Amino acid sequence: MSRARADEEEYWHSSKFRAFTFDDEEDELSQLKESKRAVNSLRDIVDDDDDDDLERVSWSGEPVGSISWSIKETASSSTGSLDGRDSGLQRGSSSCAALPKQASSYSLSSLFKGRNKLPSFQSLSDALSDTGVKNYTPELRRPKAEYKDYSNDWSPRDTVRRMQRGKVCSLERFRSLQDKLVLLDEAVAGHDGNVITALTHLCISLSPVEILFRELEVRQVALCHLIHFLKEAGEQKFLLDLLRFLDRTEEVALSQYREHLNIQDVEKRREFLKGCIGLPFSAEDTSHIQDHYTLLERQIIIEANDRHLESSGQSEIFRKYPRKASILNMPLVTTLFYSCFYHYTEAEGTFSSPSNLKKTFKIPDKQYVLTALAARAKLRAWDDVDALFTTKNWLGYTKKKAPIGFHRVVEILQRNNAPVQVLQEYVRLVEDVETRLNLATKYKCHDVVIETYRDLKDRIQLMAYKCKVERGSADEEKINSILNNVVRNAH
């Protein structure tokens, strides 16, 4: 065990344990405020002068003349008014992350299918020794000395080193797979990922897949680089073939599962997920994938049904609370909330009923109660809320029980603007006296406060509380009567 019990006790009571507290909170905050006041008051003295001596800063804080500032400036002054106007908007959408992948026309798959399809691929070397550049102005011509670089006699090691330095070199000499693997080994030894990936790529295009895979299996570094590249480039099929060959079954499964994210059509997505269930995931993950499939299946049914209900205008709940979005592809808990909101009273037999969801996905009690409570409270269905926590024992007596603790119930109800009458019913059920008093005071549940003080026989607090209730109200009367009662009893 990590710690003896006594240790733990000591820890809790000694309060040596320092959380991030501000010792003299009031003081410090007021200090800050004061500093600010002081500083602000100095403005009048200072600000008459121009800011000549300070670095010039535009409002956004960017120093005038910084690169990103200048992009905006020069762009907006360019002839096309279009560029200037939407530069703000476009800037956001132009970042590479926002670019939809499918928009690009990656042609790599064609490269991977075999050599006959890519007579041009030998041309990685062309890319490197490319001289056919148009607009080659005389002054830009490469210096004479560099022409020597076109020598075909570089050894594999020199070739790789030149590639590392980004220099021009020809790879035409290295025709066979063996030649290329020698290059690749050199690259791996040199650790330059750029060259490794490029050479692995070169090997791919020129050899039957199985032979290449076998060669790569003994070249783990190159293999990792290739796998990373395939993932980046979205070369799913080739990646899966490779992983299967390597017998990395779980990775195959995950990688295949990932693909569902690219399928927009829900029916197709559902079919795809169905196919994923049989993949070699770990036992735990398999059950999650199964659940994912089942959930989407349910959502499709519910969505079709509810869309119809909503558009036909027959159902009151949909008329009163139109749906904000479709339920498709939402998480399980969100779906449960939805179902508690729109389909609360349905029998367990229907797919859209909360109890069916609870059973199918083995949702724990706590989670279920929390979600149902939030949904019913939002609808202000206080009877349903009441029923959630009412249990009957075998004698027929009812009892209130909450698996999440009544203080949490109060919080959730409060967040949904429950009226005081409802709120105080649950505040009353909070077991811990101190918490109960705190909540009751915070949410003005006078009855509960008064009763609690009465039970505690705390006259002083009760008297003090009198000023918190309205004058002449029933609450004040109640306090008075209790106080009098106690007095009478004392006599």
Partner 1 sequence: MAAHLSSGRVNLTALREAGRRELREFLDKCAGSKAIVWDEYLTGPFGLIAQYSLLKEHEVEKMFTLKPGRLPQADVKNVIFFVRPRLELMDIIADNVLREDRGRSPQRDFHILFVPRRSLLCEQWLKEQGVLGSFIHREQYSLDLIPFDGDLLSMEAESAFKECYLESDQTSLYHAAKGLMTLQALYGTIPQIFGKGECARHVANMMIRMKREFPGSQNSIFPVFDTLLLLDRNVDLLTPLATQLTYEGLIDEIYGIQNTYVKLPPEKFAPKKQGEGGKDLPTEPKKLQLNSAEELYAEIRDKNFNAVGSVLSKKAKIISAAFEERHHAKTVGEIKQFVSQLPHMQAARSSLANHTSIAELIKDITTSEDFFDNLTVEQEFMSGIDTDKVNNYIEDCIAQKHPLIKILRLVCLQSVCNSGLKQKVLDYYKREILQTYGYEHLLTLNNLEKAGLLKSQTSGRNNYPTIRKTLRLWMDDVNEQNPNDISYVYSGYAPLSVRLAQLLARPGWRSIEEVLKMLPGPHFEERQQVPTGLQKKRQHGENRVTLVFFLGGVTYAEIAALRFLSQMEDGGTEYVIATTKLINGTSWIKSLMEKLEPAPF
Residues 269-298 that bind partner 1 (CB under 8 A): 284-285, 288-289, 291-292, 295
Count of residues touching partner 1 (by CB under 8 A): 129
Does position 161 bind partner 1 by CB under 8 A?
A: yes
Cβ atoms 412, 370 nearer than 8 A: yes
Does position 25 bind partner 1 by CB under 8 A?
A: yes
Residue 195: Cβ within 10 Å count: 24
Part of the chain binding partner 1 (CB under 8 A), chosen from 71-79, 302-310, 420-428, 459-467: 71-79
Q: How far is the CB of 251 from partner 1 (least distance, A)?
A: 9
The span from the CA of 81 to the CA of 296, in Å, is: 47
For partner 1, the binding residue among 9, 85, 117, 130 (CB under 8 A) is 130
The greatest distance separating any two alpha carbons of the chain, rounded to the nearest whole angstrom, comes to 118
Does position 90 bind partner 1 by CB under 8 A?
A: yes
Does position 214 bind partner 1 by CB under 8 A?
A: no
Does position 62 bind partner 1 by CB under 8 A?
A: yes
For partner 1, the binding residue among 112, 174, 229, 465 (CB under 8 A) is 229
The span from the CA of 371 to the CA of 334, in Å, is: 8
Does position 158 bind partner 1 by CB under 8 A?
A: no
- Within 8 A by CB and 6+ apart from 220, the residues are none
Please say whether the dihedral angle defined by the alpha carbons of residues 329, 334, 336 and 341, taken in this order, is positive or negative. Answer: negative
For partner 1, the binding residue among 231, 237, 401, 457 (CB under 8 A) is 231
Q: How far is the CB of 147 from partner 1 (least distance, A)?
A: 17
Burial of 199 per CB tally in 10 Å (0-12, 13-18, 19+): buried
For partner 1, the binding residue among 227, 242, 377, 462 (CB under 8 A) is 227
Q: How far is the CB of 73 from partner 1 (least distance, A)?
A: 8
Burial of 251 per CB tally in 10 Å (0-12, 13-18, 19+): middle
Which of 198/206 has CB closer to partner 1? 198
Distances (CA, A) of 169 to 123, 125, 143, 256: 12, 7, 16, 39
Does position 432 bind partner 1 by CB under 8 A?
A: no
Does position 4 bind partner 1 by CB under 8 A?
A: no
Does position 155 bind partner 1 by CB under 8 A?
A: no
For partner 1, the binding residue among 105, 116, 345, 489 (CB under 8 A) is 105
Which of 276/449 has CB closer to partner 1? 276
Which residues in the 347-376 window bind partner 1 by CB under 8 A? Answer: 361, 363, 366-367, 370
Distances (CA, A) of 363 to 198, 335, 367: 49, 12, 7
Which residues in the 174-213 window bind partner 1 by CB under 8 A? Answer: 190-198, 201
For partner 1, the binding residue among 4, 6, 54, 395 (CB under 8 A) is 54
Question: Which residues share a beta bridge with 269?
Answer: none
Part of the chain binding partner 1 (CB under 8 A), chosen from 256-264, 309-317, 383-391, 466-474: 256-264
Q: How far is the CB of 53 from partner 1 (least distance, A)?
A: 4
Residue type, 306: D
Which of 118/482 has CB closer to partner 1? 118
**If residue 82 lies in a helix (H) or strand (E), which one and from where to where?**
helix 81-85
The span from the CA of 100 to the CA of 98, in Å, is: 6
The span from the CA of 18 to the CA of 336, in Å, is: 40
Part of the chain binding partner 1 (CB under 8 A), chosen from 18-26, 419-427, 448-456, 459-467: 18-26
169: helix, strand or coil: coil
User: What does DSSP assign to residue 62?
Assistant: P
Q: How far is the CB of 298 from partner 1 (least distance, A)?
A: 13
Residue 431: Cβ within 10 Å count: 9
- Within 8 A by CB and 6+ apart from 158, the residues are none
Question: Which residues share a beta bridge with 351?
Answer: none
Which residues in the 441-480 window bind partner 1 by CB under 8 A? Answer: none
Give the residue among 204, 260, 192 at the shortest CA–CA distance from 230. 204
Does position 431 bind partner 1 by CB under 8 A?
A: no
Which of 50/316 has CB closer to partner 1? 50
The span from the CA of 125 to the CA of 263, in Å, is: 37
Which of 72/478 has CB closer to partner 1? 72
Q: How far is the CB of 308 from partner 1 (least distance, A)?
A: 19
Q: How far is the CB of 204 from partner 1 (least distance, A)?
A: 12
For partner 1, the binding residue among 15, 107, 311, 489 (CB under 8 A) is 107
Part of the chain binding partner 1 (CB under 8 A), chosen from 13-21, 176-184, 301-309, 378-386: 13-21
Please say whether the dihedral angle defined by the alpha carbons of residues 8, 9, 12 and 13, taken in this order, is positive or negative. Answer: negative
Does position 67 bind partner 1 by CB under 8 A?
A: yes
Which of 161/436 has CB closer to partner 1? 161
The span from the CA of 164 to the CA of 142, in Å, is: 20
